Amino acid sequence: MDNYANPRETFWRTASRITVSAHLFGILANILMLIWLLHYREGINLDSASPYRIFNVHPFLMLFGFIFLTGEAMMAYKTVPAPRQTQKYLHMFLNLSALVLGIVGIHAAFKFHDKMNIVDMYSLHSWIGIGTLCLFILQWIFGFSLFVFPKASVVTRSMLAPWHVSGGRILLYMAICAAETGLMQKFTFMQLTNNRESYLINFLALTILLFGITVDLSVSLGRFA
């Protein structure tokens, strides 16, 4: 009976639990990524003489710097117990950080291709990835100019806010799609003989997907809280 009497409280409790799950899935995905790159794939170093260490910067930054921080930015706008203005600036800062680290991650992939004499932008993964980054830049500029500076009128912000929210959710799933296709592509090229590494990559892909789903649910249910 209490659930029907207090629907907002019910949604708030559900959204809070899912938000915690999203944080945990995101942290787990980053841990699995680090174990994979540091234990099985030589390590991470953008200035290394080894092209493979340079490449490893790419998956790490695209996960932590792009997918994880983007998801955290989306949840911050609804879940951080702070004034709306603080939530807005935290949301903007996390997205900007994701954008900068994402650009560095893309740079690492191009640098690896140059060292290995590999053609750029030849795979579906690269098409989805670069498309996501370009749209993310437009999304951030759109959001900054609309909601922060110079800031549109209240009516305009109210009309365009749903499009901004929907665009963010779409871009998160596009980034996850790029990550999943990238892991599959790497899995295919590596010709793994170690079953443990194969399982690790599969679990990593699943946790990335679960992170995206729980972030989306957290943001969706948070609208009713």
Residue 1: predicted pLDDT: 44
> In this structure, which long-range contacts are made by residues 48-52, counting pairs with CB atoms below 8 Å and at least 24 apart in sequence?
51/112, 51/115, 51/116, 52/112
DSSP string, 147-166: HTSS---HHHHHHHHHHHHH
* Percent above pLDDT 90 for the chain: 71
Residue carrying the six token digits 């950080």: 97
Report pLDDT digits (tens) over 85-128.
Answer: 888 899 999 999 999 999 999 999 999 999 999 999 999 999 99
Would you say 55 and 101 are in contact if contact means Cβ atoms under 8 Å apart?
A: no
pTM metric for this prediction: 0.91
Q: What average pLDDT score do residues 169-197 get?
A: 88
Mean pLDDT for the stretch of residues 131-158: 92
How far apart (Å, rounded) are the C-alpha atoms in residues 54 and 17? 38
DSSP state, 117? T
Q: How far is CA 75 from the centre of its chain?
A: 12
- What average pLDDT does the segment 180-191 reach? 86
Q: Which two tokens stand for residue 26?
A: 């995101």
- At the topology level, CATH places domain 8-222 in Four Helix Bundle (Hemerythrin (Met), subunit A) (1.20.120)
